[in-house]
Chains A and B, each alone.
Chain A
């Protein structure tokens, strides 16, 4: 057992653990909030913008960085739209929280 670990193996470890975390966290989400769950997961999956920024990054504009810039734009729509629409929905659930009313 010598040598370095292949990054793909590290990625796989992270992947499997993250799926477990996701599984346990999501089962705790209350069904009433399933629509906000979808919109916020949408926003989160647009963290793919990170890859798009890397693609658009190189100093000289070429085919790849142009594609990257388009991807940045598409993902940015999602980031802004996803979080804001989730916020808007959650505001609606906020006003009449039963506990707040009892206080």
Chain B
């Protein structure tokens, strides 16, 4: 195959990738989009195999088959509640692949059609691609650990922010060291293995340190950010291999992750930097816990079911607690019982509910909740005032009316205005403060009834009571 033909096939693949993302603009076109994505990937892989056909393919095939088998197995087995950790794990693989390829390029540039010794331009690109890849890898491993709940075994993976004295200073020094080694590599005449390896090692450590201070509820931002990084890493490798398809695919992914991070930050009214610097809520948490004695009204699942059955309209606000308890199927069953009684049931989704963008939508879709019952925050916020009962399941900060009060830590964060409904039912495991470490006045309102317990258990009890 001539180089021009290869470039044209790569162009076709790139167009397919763009169409894949475009398909996601609505659920109806999304599956076709995914098919475009698969087509693009097939074109890309087959074309590249044709390029290397003169070499040895056996090794490549064995690796591909093993990888594909693992990927297929995991994709079948994973539960929808585990999507955040799966996505984090997959980001780490892209990062690692980028690093391995970068090392292979440094080892033998001529195998990739790059001049040997490498020109400065390629060195710079390689430096950027490999350090972003390394940060993506180790950062995603930490994010995976936090999301998979490995914090109980290893403190490094604690979902609470891991902070220590002088953390930011250490990060700055390491970042400086990494750039320093990178510069040595950039300016060197020979291979400069030592500088390259040192740069990579520092980047791996940096990836760990960047992610550990970020707490559980900020995970939607982190996971989007790592998504973005994995794209930039691919684009960086594309630059050093002069491969336009890799650049295009990488930039698509990079900008996708960046936009998602932006949306998530906006939904928390926090700047990207305050999320990345981490440690949110750690200080305020202890202060809020010692607040004055306030009384909450608590009731049983049966009481709650009675209120729900006698309402005309119900809005369900799912949160991370629902995902942890895997209560989505029970919720759907309850909603069906209510619908059969003539109660209107809708779901209100806050953009940062759960641990990744769109987490709640996927869980509800898995439970076969029709998506015309599921509303985004902007679309439903105006309707809480005319809603009889709001059922908050394992959500806290996203319904905290303190967000409207000047001076509170979450002031300005857009919230679901559950406090405007006639009656509010809140299911939580305990009165513990939410991620922001703030008390939630919603719980103390006269019209609020708390139903304590595991979300799944409580909802199942409600279902029984509705019979």
* A42 near B90: Cβ-Cβ < 8 Å: yes
Of chain A, the residue at the smallest CB distance from B78 is A85
When the two chains form their complex, are residues A32 and B27 in contact, meaning their CB atoms are under 8 A apart?
A: yes
Query: Is A30 an interface residue, CB under 8 A from the partner?
Result: yes
Chain A residues with Cβ below 8 Å from B93 are 46, 74-75, 77-78
Whether A64 lies near B108 (C-beta < 8 A) is yes
Contact count band on A:
35 or more
Are the CB atoms of A74 and B96 closer together than 8 Å?
yes
Q: Which residue of B lies closest to A37 (CB)?
A: B24
| Residues of chain A from 51 to 98 with CB closer than 8 A to chain B in the complex | 51-59, 61-65, 67-98
Q: Within the complex, which residue of B24, B49, B75, B263 is in contact with A85, where a contact is CB–CB below 8 Å?
A: B75
Q: Is the interface of B mostly helix, strand, loop or mixed?
A: helix
Determine whether the beta carbon of A30 is less than 8 Å from that of B31: no
Is B362 engaged at the interface, CB distance under 8 Å to the other chain? yes
**Docked-complex contact B101 and A47, CB < 8 angstroms:** no
A42 to B357, CA, bound (A): 14
B residues near A92, Cβ cutoff 8 Å = 80, 362, 365-366, 368
User: Is there a chain A Cβ closer than 8 Å to B76's Cβ?
Assistant: yes
Total inter-chain residue pairs, C-beta < 8 Å: 377
Cα–Cα distance between A93 and B62 once the two chains are bound (Å): 35
A74 touches B121 (CB 8 A): no
Instruction: Pick from A41, A53, A70: contact of B257, CB below 8 A.
Output: A41
Of the stretches B155-163, B197-205, B229-237, B402-410, the one at the interface is: B229-237
Indicate if the CB atoms of B101 and A48 lie closer than 8 Å. Answer: yes
Is the CB–CB distance between A41 and B21 below 8 Å? Answer: yes
Instruction: Out of A15, A27, A80, name the residue touching B75 (CB < 8 Å).
Output: A80
Given A15-B235, A55-B104, A72-B67, are A96 and B246 neighbors across the interface (CB < 8 Å)? no
Docked Cα-Cα span, A19 to B235, in Å, equals: 11
Interface residue from B97, B246, B248 paired with A74 (Cβ < 8 Å): B97
- Inter-chain contact B55/A58, CB cutoff 8 Å: yes
Chain B CB within 10 Å, residue with most, of A6, A14, A71, A90: A71
* B454 interface hit (Cβ, 8 Å): no
Any chain A CB within 8 A of the CB of B37?
Answer: yes
| Residues of chain A within 8 A of B349, CB atoms compared | 31-32
Stretch in B279-287, B370-378, B386-394 with 4+ CB within 8 Å of A: B370-378
Report the minimal beta-carbon distance from A41 to chain B, rounded to whole angstroms: 4
Task: Find chain B residues with CB under 8 A from A6 CB.
Answer: 121
Chain A residues contacting B14 (CB-CB under 8 Å) are: 18
Residues A96 and B370 in contact, CB atoms below 8 Å apart:
yes
Complex alpha-carbon distance, A46 and B41, angstroms: 9
Most B-side CB within 10 Å, residue of A15, A46, A77: A77
Chain A 37-49 per-residue mask, 1 if CB under 8 angstroms from chain B, else 0? 1111111111111
Give 14 CB contacts A-B under 8 Å: A30-B26, A33-B361, A42-B253, A44-B20, A44-B252, A47-B13, A47-B234, A57-B52, A59-B54, A67-B101, A69-B63, A81-B90, A82-B75, A84-B76
5 smallest CB-CB distances across A and B, nearest first, come from A76-B67, A34-B358, A80-B71, A57-B52, A81-B71
